Chain A
Amino acid sequence: MLHAQNVAKSFTLHTQGSVTIPVFQGVDFTLSGGECIALTGESGSGKSTFMRMLYANYTCSDGSIRVFHDGDWLDITTASPHSILEVRKRTMGYVSQFLRVIPRVPTLEIVAEPLVALGAARDHAMDKARDLLTRLRIPERLWQLSPLTFSGGEQQRVNIARGFIADYPIMLLDEPTASLDAQNRATVLALIEEAKGRGAAIAGIFHDHETRDAVCTGSFDVTSFKVGAND
C-alpha cells in the first residue's frame, strides 16, 4: 500500500545561520494491507519526522514515497498539492497528537467531517461519529461543544474518533494512546484491530511496549538510518 525508497531528510535552519541538520538517509520502508508496523527509535531518531513525511506534511530531501491511491501508485514527494489532498481525503488517514480545529465547531461535527467530505450521507456520518464518541467515552453532554475546551485526554480521543471514522486504506497513528487511561487504551487497541481486520495498512508510533506488542505485526527502527549513526 505504501512504499518508501531511499528516503532522506535534512532540515536547513535559515534563521540560525543556515545550519543544516541531517536526520536520516537511505530509508526503505514498505507497508502492506493488514499490517500494523511500529516505527521505533529513540527520541530524536526522526520517527515522527518520518511519519510526517509519509503523510506529505514534511517534504523529502531525497528518495520517493509511493502510495497506492485509486488503483495506481502515486509518488507523494512529487505529486501536486491537489493529488496529495485527494490522497489524504480518500486513501490515507492520520491521527496526530495535536487537535487543530476551528474554534466553536461542535465536537460531533469535527468527528463526522472526514466522512462527510468523502460524500457520505450526513446522518450516517453523524451516527458513526456518535458511535465512536460513545466507545471512546466522551460524555454526550460534550458533543455539541468545541473540543478546544476539553482536557488533553479528551482532545486526544476526539482526534482518534476523527481519525477512525473513515475506513482509510492506509492509517498513520502518532502516539494514539499517549495520554489515555487503560479503558480508553483498550478501545483504541480494538479500533486498530478492526482496521487491521478490514485490511488497512497501519504505521504507528507507540510510546508503550504493551500497546505495541498487542497490535503490531512488526516494527521498523528509524535509528539505523540516522546520518552518522555508525560514525
Chain B
Amino acid sequence: MEQTVNYSADGATAYNFAYLDEQTKRMIRRALLKAVAIPAYQVPFAGREMPMPYGWGTGGVQVTAAVIGPNDTLKVIDQGADDTTNAVSIRQFFAKTANVATTEKTTEASIIQTRHRIPEKELREDQVLVYQVPIPEPLRFLEPRETETRKMHALEEYGLMHVKLYEDIARHGHIATTYAYPVMVDDRYVMDPSPTPKFDNPKMNDMAALQLFGAGREKRIYALPPYTKVKSLDFEDHPFEVQTWKDECGMCGAHDSYLDEVILDDQGNRMFVCSDTDYCTERQEAGHRGPQHHDQPLGNAAREKAAE
C-alpha cells in the first residue's frame, strides 16, 4: 500500500493514511501474518495509543488501519447496529484519516469492523472481518498468571476451559455462558471470541472471510484464516447450543436472526428486533414484515415511535 498523505479541507498537513505511521502499520501487519499462520495463537504487538479510550475498539481500529487501503469500503457495527455512537465514530475516524468509502451494507463492505456481532448475511472470500477484543485470553478467568496461560496454550492443557463450563452447568443447569463462549480452533488452540454472542460462534466455523482480532489494551492480535475449523467447547451430555427466541423480529419477521429486546414503555411492553440493522432493513425492503411493523420510516428513533 502506497504511502499517502491526506490533506484536510483547509490544506494543512493532517494525518498519515489511516492515522498510524507506516512503520507501525508494518509492525502490525507482521503480527497479523504470524497470527494467520498460527490460527488463534495470540501474537503480542506493540499497540499504540489511539485517539480514543481503551474499550472503544482501539485494538480493532489498529488492525483495520493496518489492512485498509484507499479502495476499501468500510462498515463498522456495534452490537449489530451501524448507527450507534461507537460505530459511527470509528466509521468517521477512517473516513477522515483514510478518506475511504463507508457503508452500512454488509454486501458492499470489503472490511467490516465489529464489536460483538457477525453479520447475519454470509461473508465472502473478498471480505475481512475485524473484531474489537477486550480480553483475548480465554483462560484468564481461572488462571491469572500470563506465564502459566502461555504454557497451557503451548502444551494444549485446556482442562480449565471445561471447569468454567462445568461451573455454568452446576449453577444454572445448562451452559449459561452466552457470549465470549470459548472455541477450539483447528483442533489446536482454544480461543476467546469475546465478546461475540455464542449465537455467532457457528458462523466463525469454515467462514470464507478472513477474521482478524485486535485487543488494544492487552496488545494482542489473533486471527482465523478463511475456512478454518472452529468448534465451540461443550460436554457430551450438554452439547453446545445457540440461543433461540420464541419471538420473531417485530420489524422484518425474521426467525433466524439474533434478536434484541426493546422495552417499549413503562407498562413492560416490549418487542424483539434484529440486532443486525442492515439485515433487518434489507428484509423490510424486500417486503418482509413483522407484527410491529407499521410501514413507518426505519431507524431506532422511528422504531420506538412506531411502537408507541
Direct contact of A and B (CB under 8 A): no
The chain B residues found within 8 Å of chain A, CB to CB, are none
